[in-house]
Chain A
Amino acid sequence: MTIKLIVLLIVIFFIVIAIDMPYIKKKSSKRIFTIYFSLIVIGFIMSLLQIIDKAPESPVVLIEKIVRYIVY
């Protein structure tokens, strides 16, 4: 089941990159390129970690700790 999902994830990312390729090639700016790919990589890692259930605690837990510390 997880393998199917991982393959699906990789396929989706390829489709996304294929859709956006003409846009980015037209812009031809290094900055856009780097930001775009860093965002893609972040998204990919986040989804991958969630699929294989190795995701760390969500940031909400951190926020909750901070709020509880300050308020209570």
Chain B
Amino acid sequence: MLKNIEISNKELIILMAGFIIGDSIIVNIARAVKQDAWISIIISWVFAYVLIGMYVYIAKLNPNKTLIEILIDIFGKYIGRILSVLYLWYFLHLSSLIFRSYSEYISIVVFPETPRIFITAFSSVALVIGLKYGLETIARTSMIAFIIPPISIIIILLRSFKHMDITNIQPVLEYGMNPILKTSFGLLTFPFGEAILFLMIFTFVNKKEKILKSSFISITFVGVLLIIISLMNIMVLGPEMINRNYFNLHRTSTVVPGAIIDPFITVSQLVLAAIQIWICIYSLLIGITQLFNLNDYKPFVIPIVIISVSLSNWLYNNVAEMFRIAQEIYPYYAIPFQFIIPIIILIISLIKQKGNSKSTST
């Protein structure tokens, strides 16, 4: 159906890492637990291995099938299609969320006087061009561009070393484990659980045996980076500021006297958001072509991006609402997409496979 698109495992690692970090630097749910944020990140990180391992296992049980095909396969034509439409809505919603948070960030921090919709629209031009070129081009460009975020984080880390106060981490576990567990559940859904999207991308990897290893490398990388950022923010800014401030990393970078670190974060933010939006919209496009049995997704790129941009403007009224919903509502909203349906798929796939092996052995 679709022509041979191939990405290598190295590119998969970078796409996955970029995708998972994506927005979580801006919309940082772990703020709620103040100085224990790093603990909840570690907890969700550990569980992420299990969750994403489950996704990879689903991909292994249904080889060469994307998520939409698996859904139609397992649940039958009608329910499968309804579920696919729901997932397509989930992808679209996710991409608008990222558009919104990214343009809010740029609009508030860098260009306060420019209307936000304009920033979104202008950034979407680059995204459209990337999508029209295809997945291979996106993967190659991400490989080159992905050097920037870790380097900028390291630069900030080095420069803010003397401003760090390690006593800011104390008192540890001040509010008990309950809030920490609640936040780590939220962190598991956003950012780690979004890797469900990659079930659409796994079919394009050329060496499928190495997918598990690549995913684990990505998660390790992401976890380490997030913990470093979180610890750095806590130590430099202190727990109260973490909770009250929306954009912690940016605030950390401005603490250091010397204004050149700012653009680095903006650029790394663009890179990460771009990777995430690309994967989201690409999965959406592939899903549409598979749902309607088409050959090519290229014609629909621009309309879908326009809808996504338009939706991003429509979603919330202001920044505060965005953060509130990300904190309180989003984890529960993502449960069916990231946990319930995949677990059902896993169980049914296992049953099917046992049935298959039984029938072939007899």
Contacts and interface: CB of A to CB of B under 8 A. Distances in A.
Touching in the complex, A and B, CB below 8 A?
yes
Given A23-B298, A70-B332, A60 B303 contact: no
B333 A63 contact: yes
A66 to B, nearest CB: 8
B195 to A, nearest CB: 21
Contacts of A71: 332
B299 A27 contact: yes
Contacts of B294: 29, 31-32, 35
B267 to A, nearest CB: 27
B256 interface: no
A67 B333 contact: yes
Contacts of A35: 288, 292, 294, 300
Chain B, interface residues (CB within 8 Å), range: 20 to 34
A64 B329 contact: yes
A42 B307 contact: yes
Contacts, number: 65
Nearest to B121: A12
B226 interface: no
A42 B304 CA distance: 10
Interface residues of A, number: 28
B314 interface: yes
Interface in B300-326: 300, 302-304, 306-307, 310-311, 313-316, 325
Contact of A20 (B302, B313, B315, B329): B302
Given A35-B292, A67-B333, A71-B332, A46 B311 contact: yes
6 closest A-B pairs by beta carbon, nearest first, are: A39-B303, A43-B306, A46-B310, A43-B307, A47-B310, A67-B332
